Structure 1
Amino acid sequence: MSTDTDTAGRRATYLTEDRLAIQALAREFVAKEVLPVANELDPVAGEIPAALRRKMADLGFFGILIPEEYGGLGMGVFEYAIVVEELARGWMSVASIIARGQQFTQGFDDEQRAKYLPLMATGDFLSAFALSEADAGSDVANMRCRAERDADGWRISGQKMWCTFADGSDYLQVFARTGPLGTDPKRRSDGISCFLMPKPRGALPEGVTGNPVRKIGYHGWKTWELSFDNAYVAPGMMLGEEGKGFAIAMSDLDIARIHTAARAIGLARGALEDSIDYARQRVQFGKPIADKQVIRFKIADMATQIEAARALMYQTCAEVDAGQRTSVKASMVKQFATEMAERVTSEGIQIHGGAGYTTDFAVERYWRDARLTKIFEGTSEIQLKIISDALLGR
């Protein structure tokens, strides 16, 4: 079967005219607006400009998943993944920031949704997720940060790790213990509550201090280690029921893992496309290296791995949008796509040779960021545990 037939069949199944249109819109935006900024700022660990964020908001990228009644686009996870892949092809941090207004909103009540979702849809109320701790990464239930009642509000004390965008966000979504850490393995997550802490953009909340983490990649914004010292949470700012915050943290993980898979695919595609361009231009022994069989086979294998990951992602997105439970398949696509992205971006560096190990070419950025996708939203090992437990029992 020819490539043209394959592509036509896939489009007939998944890529409707509306989806092709939003893909084209995002692709053009990345080429004109994201890539030039990323190529300039990532090598110096610069931050995503506010002007770029505003352009993203104007295109509706912060509200893809938000219902139209709240000012969003009311689209599905499929459309979300399409846009995320395109943005990540330019700069993964840009593909990541759009999640800060439309993921992890399950705990919002009707009043909070009416108040905050319209602002999220326009990129004017973006979050930073304060969940992990030094001893509560994959084992989130081991959380020690505590919240104590203070009149009608709460006071939070403790430490948090890996809180990306803590300074630039409009609020922190903080998870803290309001009940004891139990010893029953099946009940260890009980007693964790979720709080919303609005704050000025560009600063940490009162009672919160922090230090930026020294990252090797994921530039464009800072990731923080935070200390909470009796930080105040106003009345009405608990999300969901007291002691049920763990369910909120876990509620959107299917979408979050698809989001990460889409980011990984975008990174891998960036490495592939840049490698094709470089191989055509780079001349050795009197010919472009694109004429060498070893390079041609590397590129063929890279393209095949990307296509396989994208096909699994499309299938998973379609099932989510159809209302099916897809936690295992979300773990599969997250694990498969992120492992693929590290391999493909590494091959991209190999094709670039010594030039690939410099910051003069974007392929090293894709490689650094791809390595992170295997860690956040649940490590590859956690995904394999979820999948194997589903197949074999716990």
Structure 2
Amino acid sequence: MSGYLTEEYLQLQQMARKFTEQEIIPIADQIDEQEAEIPEEILKKMGELGFFGIMFPEEYGGAGLDALAVAVVTEELSRGMLSVGSVAARNLITGLELVRYGTEDQKKRFVPGMATGEIQTATAGTEPEAGSDAANIKTIAKKVGNKYILNGSKVFTTFANRANVLFVYAKTDPDAKPKHRGISCFLIEKEPGEQFAPPHLTGNRIKTIGYHGMNTYTLFFENLEVPEENLLGGIEGKGFYQLMGGYEIARIQFAFRSIGVARAAYERALQYSRERVQFDQPIAKFQAMRFRLAEMATEIEAARQLGYYAADKHRRGERCDLEAGMAKLLASEIALKHTWGALQMHGGYGYTREYPVQRYWRDAGLLPIGEGTTEIQKEIIARRLLGE
């Protein structure tokens, strides 16, 4: 239905779809039920297919593609399992931040490995008192000689245990006015594993109701030493701008994670409506079911086309924070709505582990919250509309 996708994008889409159907869908329910993590061999295959470095420049081992390529791959991966679509985003967002703002030494040290997946990353920005209010962080980085000493804590740091590099945001100037001007980003190198680097870096896993496949942590920094060459870009006070600079592509990618989950639920509901017989006929013959399916298909396609529009603007180098925010808002809301609708269409069976619709619904609960809440997206959109 889209005029945005050329043959190159369609081929990439087919590759991601084949990978998802052969490698992800067969193991997704087991990962979810056991609250396990995405297997290492899956990450390795994703790296071999180039899913981690889609938008990285070729000189750093990437494919040199664009946001539309990210969109088609993300939807397919997330259709199989939300966390698989999300794991590709870890390196995409942090890698582009490095490409855009990092020193040449930092780019050469990290980006090629991030493109292959040999280096995995996690972002540590959110704190107990700083969620949507990103500038209100309390973690402190004090310069001592040729290193920084970090103290503080972070919450909801997803994939922290398997990351080789943590992108940690901390205050280098606690007295800066406005507050965001005192924030810097540090690249914390670590060995993968839940041991982190005690006693200076420790972590506790946060149990979640869904989004299994990647674990989420609270992190604690206690006099953690970071070499000055690991200050992103080599200049203090740029962390907030570096973080915000990636929000357009992050929200486009997040929109297509939502679309993938919504599509998975819709496809299951469509299949079930043909198979489930009540009153001597498939429930697909009942008007209530037919209307729900029609609404699902229409709203998912509307979100997809809005997402493509935002991605195409990004591809052309145009400002797209408005469109990216709209796409993220719409896609995340319809994902939550239609995963619940798919569960209802399954009746009592939808609330059992026998069918995956309950997984889609639990995963979708995160979508209106992550990468900027529904309320934050509406505020961003309103500011643009009002010219503020």
Q: Map residues 147-166 of structure 1 onto 2, 5 A cutoff.
A: 147-166=141-160
Pick which of 281-290 and 137-146 moved more: 281-290
Corresponding residue number in structure 2 for 1:325: 319
Supply the distance in 1 between the matched residues of 2:189 and 2:261 (Cα, whole angstroms): 32
- Identical residues among aligned pairs (%): 44
Deviating 4+ runs (over 6 angstroms): none
Deviation of residue 393 (structure 1)? 4.4
Instruction: Give the alignment partner of residue 49 of structure 1, picking from 36, 39, 56.
Output: 39
- Unaligned regions of 5+ residues in structure 2, if any? none
Deviation at 1:235, TM superposition (A): 2.9
State the shift of 1:107 in Å: 2.8
* CA shift for structure 1 position 150: 2.5
Contact 2:124 2:167 in 1 (8 A): yes
Deviation at 1:64, TM superposition (A): 0.5
User: Structure 1 residues 380 and 181, CA, compared in 2 at 3 Å: closer, same or farther?
Assistant: farther
Q: What TM-score does the superposition give when structure 1 sets the normalisation length?
A: 0.95
Q: How many residues align?
A: 381
Contact 2:152 2:220 (C-alpha < 8 Å) held by counterparts: yes
Paired AA for residue 184 in structure 2: S
| RMSD, aligned CA | 1.1
Aligned-partner Cα distance in 1 for 2:373–2:192? 30
Q: Does 1:197 align with 2:188?
A: yes
Structure 2 match to 1:4: none
Which stretch has the larger CA shift, 82-91 or 274-283? 274-283
Q: What amino acid is aligned across from residue 283 of structure 2 in structure 1?
A: I
Task: Give the secondary-structure state (helix, strand or coil) at the position aligned to 2:93.
Answer: coil
Q: Distance in 2 between matches of 1:100 and 1:387?
A: 25
Please list the CA deviations of residues 203-231 of structure 1 after superposition, one character each: whole Å capped at 9, or x if unmatched. 41341112111211111011001111011
More deviation, 268-277/62-71: 62-71
1:30-109 to 2 correspondences below 5 Å: 30-104=20-94, 105=97, 106-109=100-103
Q: Which whole-Å deviations, capped at 9, do the CAs of 1:132-177 have from their partners, x for residues lacking one?
A: 1011000011111101123201110011111001111111110001
Counterparts of 2:48 and 2:86 in 1: how far apart (Å)?
17
Q: Does structure 2 retain, via aligned residues, the 8 Å contact 1:280–1:288?
A: yes
Tell me the distance in 2 between the aligned counterparts of 1:198 and 1:210: 15
2: CA distance between counterparts of 1:290 and 1:181?
Answer: 63
- State the TM-score, normalized to the length of structure 2: 0.96
**Structure 2 Cα separation of the partners of residues 364 and 234 of structure 1:** 46
* 2:380 counterpart (375, 378, 386): 386
Q: Helix, strand or coil: the match of 1:190?
A: helix
- Separation in 2, partners of 1:102, 1:114: 16
Q: For residues 118-133 of structure 1, what are the structure 2 equivalents within 5 Å? A: 118-133=112-127
User: Do the aligned partners of 2:140 and 2:174 also contact (CA within 8 Å) in 1?
Assistant: no
Quick one: which amino acid aligns to residue 339 of structure 1? Answer: E
Secondary structure (helix, strand or coil) at the match of 1:158 reads: strand
Q: Is there any run of 5+ residues in structure 1 with no aligned partner, and where?
A: 1-6
Q: 2: distance between equivalents of 1:147 and 1:391?
A: 37
Instruction: Give yes or no for contact 1:155–1:233 (8 Å, CA) kept in 2.
Output: yes
Tell me, yes or no, if structure 1 residue 24 matches structure 2 residue 22: no
C-alpha distance in structure 2 between counterparts of 1:163 and 1:200, whole Å? 16
Aligned to 1:242: 236
Compute the displacement of 1:82 (Å). Answer: 0.5
